Amino acid sequence: MAKKNEVDVDLNEELKTLRHDKWRSQLVWMASIIIVVLVIAFFLASTVGLQEQVLTSYQEKTLKLGLVFMIVLLVGYLLDREERLRKINVTLIKNLQKTSEMLRYRMNQLAVLNRISLILSSSLNMTESFTYMMKDLCQKLPLEGGILYLVSGDKIEAKSIYNLNELYNINQFPPCQRVTQVVGMGKGDPLTLTDIKTTEKMSQDDLFYKEEFDSAIIVPLMSNNILKGVFLAFSRKPEKSLGPEEADFLKIIGLQLTLSISNSELYSKVSTEKLMEERKLSAVIENMGDGVVALDRSFNILLVNSVAKNILTRSAPESSGSDLATILNQQIYLDLWREALLNHEGPAVREFDVEGPSHLTLIVLATPLKDVLGRIEGVIMVLRDVTHEREVMKLKDDFISTISHELRTPLTSIKAYTDMLMEGAISKEDSVNYLKVVKEETDRLSLLLDDLLDLSLLRSGKYDLERSLQAINPTIDMAINAISQPAVKKNLKLLYEAKDLPPVTISSNHIYRALVNLLQNAVKYTPEGGSITVNSGTDPNYLWITVSDTGIGIGPEEQLKIFDKFYQVESSSTRSHGGAGIGLSLVKQLIELHGGTIEVASEVGKGSTFTIKLPLR
Ligand code: ADP
């Protein structure tokens, strides 16, 4: 763009002289009128023959001479005026040319500005848009390159560079004294530096020195009186020196750059916040205890968390393989999805059992997935694996019926025997036997109620174990004694050899309860003629006691569950023995309260071995 914005004053000068010429033109008009009057007078006088009578010949000559002089004056004036008008015309044309050139210049500036604002607003990547902008500017202005600095905290850092001689790493950019100065001033006006090589004092590591700038313009980028950055434009050639005119233009470019920086900051803030939100949300969804699956309106999976993947894979029918979309493509999920899409009011819920690689009970809740305008975009399904809860519920139900039975059986026999005793017509021997039965049944009841009470105390955490360092052999002896009679009754061999065991920190009462429970089970689940063996010993860290029987044994699946509360192996052979399914659960908790463990090894039809381990230290 050419520099053409001076206002021409010649035209004004010309017009001024033309205006001052007014009295001259009035004089000329008067002279012209006099000439005309005189010419008419002469003409009339000569036609009527008065000329000779009124004027002497001398007067006549003088008059004619005056007339000729006046005509010459008039012609001279007219010629002079003509010349002046011509000059004005030329000046006018020149001015018109200048104005049109200036207009073209301004139009050009506007076009550049338009393009640059488009470039800056089309990308939120400042480095990218700055490079495009500089490319454009260097074609239109006597610029050779530029640098964009951004303020971050109390530092100013080069963000983007264009057309520098050296290849700088943007993070180790040479310092620039003048830029630092402008930043320090914190004002909005551009600083124009010309003839830099001769006028500026620079150190050798200064950017201006290194890059041999001849002229430069430093434009502070201010937004709401806050310095956002600095835009530096430079030229290396003296013939392309940057001046105030470029500074004015670059100031406007600076406004655009500031706007762009603010936009980019806002965008990065919003996108960072959005990213954080998204991350938080996906972390929440991923770490949810329930499975979550989002499906679109065409039943495509939009999102699935790892719990849902796990549930779906475990519940997959053999035919569907491991592909989640295929697993989900089952009637029950399709129905839920359709229901949620159609029924906008509440969620659609189903509880159902699935037989995949393992048996699962699932509750699936499907709700419509809506966008911000409330339009339904798909369905969110929440999958909850309630297999364990349902099993526990079933166990509790079973327990109630079992415990009622367990209570009723001894009570019935107690009642029957006491009735008979009260009738009185029985021998002494019989009445002793009846009373024995009543006592046995009462003991059974009291043991069962003790177990129940202990279990509820253990559950509430109020169980108080008073432990002390003591020998364990007396406790083992007592427990064996407690079951020796029922064992003899069932014709079971009871094998036990006391070992020399070190003292151990126990509550003997509770270890006794645990051992009695194990021994009672051994008696209960070992057919007549079998044997029960109690063994003991130590390892470096613990003392162990085993209770083995040659009974009915426990299957591998059941072995995992027998220590659960209320669990009883579902088979006619075990059910016939009664029990409430709380014994082993109680044993486990008592042993664990001692810091120990209990394990079972068993084979169906061959027998079981329960091992208790108690820590020695
Ligand atoms: P229960 O009162 O039913 O015996 P437990 O908690 O003591 O309850 O035992 C749970 C289940 O474990 C029993 O119902 C039984 O099926 C099985 N069980 C326990 N001990 C033995 C054993 N020694 N031999 C075979 N099965 C056993």
Q: Please give all residues whose beta carbon lies within 6 A of any atom in ligand 1, as ranges.
A: 521-522, 525, 549, 551-554, 562, 567-569, 574, 579-585, 608
* Number of helices and strands in the chain (H, E): 19, 17
Q: What percent of the chain has pLDDT over 70?
A: 91
Which residue out of 554, 566, 611 has the highest number of ligand 1 atoms within 8 Å of its CB and is therefore the one to mutate?
Answer: 554
Sign (positive or negative) of CA dihedral 204, 208, 210, 214: negative
Predicted confidence band at 500 (pLDDT cuts at 50, 70, 90)? very high
The CA-atom distances, in angstroms, between 428 and each of 122, 200, 437, 507, 525 are: 111, 132, 14, 42, 34
The CA-atom distances, in angstroms, between 563 and each of 377, 436, 582, 591, 594 are: 48, 32, 8, 12, 17
pLDDT tens per residue, range 560-571: 888 886 666 665
Nearest to 421 by CA among 411, 433, 429, 431: 431
Which residue out of 490, 518, 560, 568 has the highest number of ligand 1 atoms within 8 Å of its CB and is therefore the one to mutate?
Answer: 568
310: pLDDT strictly greater than 60: yes
DSSP 8-state class, residue 240: G
Identify the pLDDT of residue 245: 85
CA-closest residue to ligand 1 atom 2:
579
357: pLDDT strictly greater than 90: no
Predicted confidence band at 523 (pLDDT cuts at 50, 70, 90)? very high
DSSP 8-state class, residue 165: S
CA-closest residue to ligand 1 atom 19:
521
Identify the pLDDT of residue 4: 38
Predicted confidence band at 53 (pLDDT cuts at 50, 70, 90)? low
316: pLDDT strictly greater than 90: no
Nearest to 190 by CA among 226, 155, 233: 233
Nearest to 316 by CA among 366, 364, 349, 359: 359
Output the CA 575–ligand 1 centroid distance in Å. 10
pLDDT tens per residue, range 409-467: 788 888 988 988 888 778 888 889 889 889 888 987 887 888 778 777 777 776 777 88
Element (H, E) at 296: strand 291-296
Output the CA 205–ligand 1 centroid distance in Å. 88
d(CA 42, CA 52): 11
Output the CA 587–ligand 1 centroid distance in Å. 11
Which residue out of 403, 407, 515, 525 has the highest number of ligand 1 atoms within 8 Å of its CB and is therefore the one to mutate?
Answer: 525
Output the CA 508–ligand 1 centroid distance in Å. 23
Contact indicator for 582, 563 with CB cutoff of 8 Å: no
pLDDT tens per residue, range 81-132: 788 888 888 888 888 888 888 888 788 878 888 888 787 777 777 888 888 8
Output the CA 494–ligand 1 centroid distance in Å. 19
pLDDT tens per residue, range 466-493: 889 999 999 999 999 989 988 999 999 9
**Average pLDDT of every residue of the chain:** 84
Identify the pLDDT of residue 18: 66
Element (H, E) at 34: helix 22-48
pLDDT tens per residue, range 218-247: 999 988 888 889 999 999 999 989 988 889
Predicted confidence band at 49 (pLDDT cuts at 50, 70, 90)? low
20: pLDDT strictly greater than 70: no
- The residue type found at 225 is N
d(CA 547, CA 117): 88
d(CA 81, CA 531): 149
Identify the pLDDT of residue 233: 94
d(CA 331, CA 317): 12
Query: Residues near 488 by Cβ (< 8 Å), separated by ≥ 6?
Result: 494
The CA-atom distances, in angstroms, between 59 and each of 41, 123, 347 are: 14, 96, 130
> How far from the centroid of its chain's Cα atoms is residue 520's Cα?
59
d(CA 516, CA 505): 19
pLDDT tens per residue, range 536-554: 999 999 999 999 999 999 9
pLDDT tens per residue, range 234-287: 999 999 899 888 898 899 889 888 988 888 888 888 888 888 888 888 888 888
DSSP 8-state class, residue 6: P
What are the tokens at 477? 């002896």
The CA-atom distances, in angstroms, between 173 and each of 176, 210, 220 are: 9, 12, 19
303-329 average pLDDT score: 86
46: pLDDT strictly greater than 60: yes
d(CA 165, CA 191): 23
Identify the pLDDT of residue 396: 76
Identify the pLDDT of residue 545: 97
CA-closest residue to ligand 1 atom 4:
579
Contact indicator for 196, 214 with CB cutoff of 8 Å: yes
Element (H, E) at 159: strand 155-162
Nearest atom (ligand 1) to Cα of 552: 25
DSSP 3-state assignment of 161? strand
**pTM for the structure as a whole:** 0.45
1: pLDDT strictly greater than 50: no
Q: Which of 61-75, 362-376, 544-558 has the lowest mean pLDDT?
A: 61-75
The CA-atom distances, in angstroms, between 423 and each of 418, 442, 515 are: 9, 20, 40
What are the tokens at 5? 């914005």
Query: Residues near 604 by Cβ (< 8 Å), separated by ≥ 6?
Result: 552, 553, 554, 555
Predicted confidence band at 505 (pLDDT cuts at 50, 70, 90)? very high
Predicted confidence band at 581 (pLDDT cuts at 50, 70, 90)? confident
Of residues 174 and 372, more confidence is placed in: 174
